[in-house]
Structure 1
Amino acid sequence: MNNLDFRTHAFDSAAQLADVALQGRLDGQGWKWVTPRPVVAACRLSLKASPDELAAQVTEALPGEGLELLWGTTEPWWRARTLHDGYLGWVQAGDVVEERQWRPDLTVQALRAHVFAGPKVSSPVLAELCLGAQLQRLDAEAVEDDHRRWLPVLLPDGQEGWVQEVCFDQPNESVTALALRFLDAPYVWGGRSAWGLDCSGLTQTVYGAFGKVLPRDADQQQEATQVVDEPRAGDLAFFPGHVGLMLDGKRMIHANATGMRVTIETLGEGAYGGRLAASLSGFGRVQ
């Protein structure tokens, strides 16, 4: 079991529970093999390090993203895994819904957005959205209001609402241009959206918008990228427990707990830039 990563391989030695996919890879007898059950995040869903509301957030599932439930413990907690990157955490049962016939066909392109109860900006807000959130278009007519076009949508939890069509417009931009849109977004450990995100959450989310699936954590991302000596725009810069996205050969944008937000640093310049340059472990290029 030494070669299994606890962040992505689901097993509990004490309870003798394990993902059925690990059959033949675990030592010993008496394992109970669990078949994952597909579910969907009903909202921006915090995955915890342990089944405790006060436990650290390890990652976040975005509205409409798929997960798998593995096994439960003290109600209402379940061991869960995100589908897009296979990352494990604990979720509360009330924050996920059965997959049923969930067929999302709309992906939010705005950094932050809202679902409204009606096709007017004065309507009550039903839910928060973010870049990458997935919704289902209802089979109903769009509504034009004061030169604004509203689409009727279905949320994962079954609620119906309205979102302005502009929130789904995909801009023609580069990886670095998208990253710059996150400038000053707050830092949140384990976060993956512009409501709050961490260093690897930023790089994963930005590249995910271009169909490039990066692992969740900085060390995993370093292993998954091609090593380069001279960085260019879009390359990743790695440090112990940290990652940033290069804007050019020197400047880097990153979500960091020093500024508690997304900032730009120049490697080797200033107190923080100097510390970063001194701890730099290498650059990686996303393939």
Structure 2
Amino acid sequence: MDITVEVTEKGDSQGVAILMHFGSTLPVMSPLPPADPRLFAHDPRRRWSEAPAPDGWRELHPALARAQARTSLRAAPDARATQVSEALPGEALERLADEGEWAWVRTPHDGYLGWVRQQEVGPAWAPELTVTALRAHAYAEPRVSALIVAELCRGARLSRGAGERVTEDHRCWQPVTLPDGQAAWVQEVILAKVDVSDPATFALSLLGAPYVWGGRSAWGLDCSGLTQLAYAACGAALPRDADQQEAALQRVAVPQRGDLAFFPGHVGLMLDGRRMVHANATAMAVSVDTLGEGDYGGRLLASLRGYGRWPT
């Protein structure tokens, strides 16, 4: 007997997690463990599992690694499989297993599992630099007209490169080593410390950023990617998906700025008692909408499940 799973919204059910491991059809070979399969590596088809593994199964032990660029985590080892999350350039990974040209990995900051191409995974490292700009580029030489060699984003990790800083037309350039080992140059402004105390203000800085299912950066992100990124900017670690975030926060009846609003398969960040900033798959961009206002706002309010607040 086969169980066919259909998923319409990310984070609304265990379907995303099941698809991550088995594709759209799951052969019933072994019961899944009670742990969340988006976070706990257990694959009956391949007979792989984290400890404790059943007898006769391969027990998986994570090895530290890194993402060599902005890397899609996919639901299955297939380039056509759904992107379920994203690893940022230089971000730490845990490598669990390999299959052909693919590696099964976890992003340690939120424990999320997915498949990436092996060529996108590098050895573990200890980068000294963190990109704070929402979007940025690395260059082959220390000048703005030089060849762009990499796309970067907030949270990307780099190492200091060989050589000295260069000042060019009042611009300060830092030599860096990219996560894939390539030498490059970035302007120091993209590494400048940015103090963020309000997740709502940070989320508003991403207005107009494109909606991308599974995305986690200003180059493209989904609803829970936006809220996770906004909270991370304030030093608070949210889980990856909307339902996980809902379970992690304290329920409140009356929202205030910075609270999250939850809907079936969707999450937004409240600006006040009614307005919400969210990565909007209808507008295909980060937008601000008012609960109960207009046709779209009315549909949002009708489907509202409640509000969550970071524990104080």
The TM tier, using the shorter chain, reads over 0.9
Say which SS state the counterpart of residue 214 (structure 1) adopts. coil
Q: Which residue of 2 aligns with 1:93?
A: 118
How many Å apart are 1:136 and its aligned residue? 1.2
1:81 aligns with 2:106: yes
Give the partner amino acid of 1:125. I
How many Å apart are 1:280 and its aligned residue? 0.6
Q: Which residue of 2 aligns with 1:10?
A: 41
Give the partner amino acid of 2:105. A
Match of residue 141, structure 1, among 164, 168, 173 = 164
Separation in structure 2 between the aligned mates of residue 209 and residue 18 of structure 1, nearest angstrom: 33
Separation in structure 2 between the aligned mates of residue 204 and residue 222 of structure 1, nearest angstrom: 12
Contact 1:47–1:89, Cα closer than 8 Å, also in 2 = yes
Give the partner amino acid of 2:98. G
Separation in structure 1 between the aligned mates of residue 280 and residue 127 of structure 2, nearest angstrom: 32
Compute the TM-score of the two structures, normalised by the length of structure 2.
0.87
Say which SS state the counterpart of residue 219 (structure 1) adopts. helix
Gaps of 5+ in 1: none
Regions of 4+ moved over 4 Å: none
Contact 1:132–1:209, Cα closer than 8 Å, also in 2 = no
Separation in structure 1 between the aligned mates of residue 267 and residue 169 of structure 2, nearest angstrom: 43
Q: Which residue of 2 aligns with 1:255?
A: 279
Gaps of 5+ in 2: 1-31
Separation in structure 2 between the aligned mates of residue 165 and residue 136 of structure 1, nearest angstrom: 13
Contact 2:141–2:185, Cα closer than 8 Å, also in 1 = yes
1:125 aligns with 2:151: no
Bigger Cα displacement from structure 2, 34-43 vs 189-198? 34-43
How many Å apart are 1:171 and its aligned residue? 3.0
Q: Which residue of 2 aligns with 1:275?
A: 299
Separation in structure 1 between the aligned mates of residue 223 and residue 304 of structure 2, nearest angstrom: 15
1:64 aligns with 2:90: yes
1:199 aligns with 2:198: no
Say which SS state the counterpart of residue 246 (structure 2) adopts. helix
1:163 aligns with 2:183: no
Separation in structure 1 between the aligned mates of residue 102 and residue 57 of structure 2, nearest angstrom: 21
1:208 aligns with 2:232: yes
Q: Over aligned residue pairs, what C-alpha RMSD do you find? A: 1.2
Q: Which residue of 2 aligns with 1:55?
A: 81
Identical-residue share of aligned pairs (%): 56
How many Å apart are 1:175 and its aligned residue? 1.7
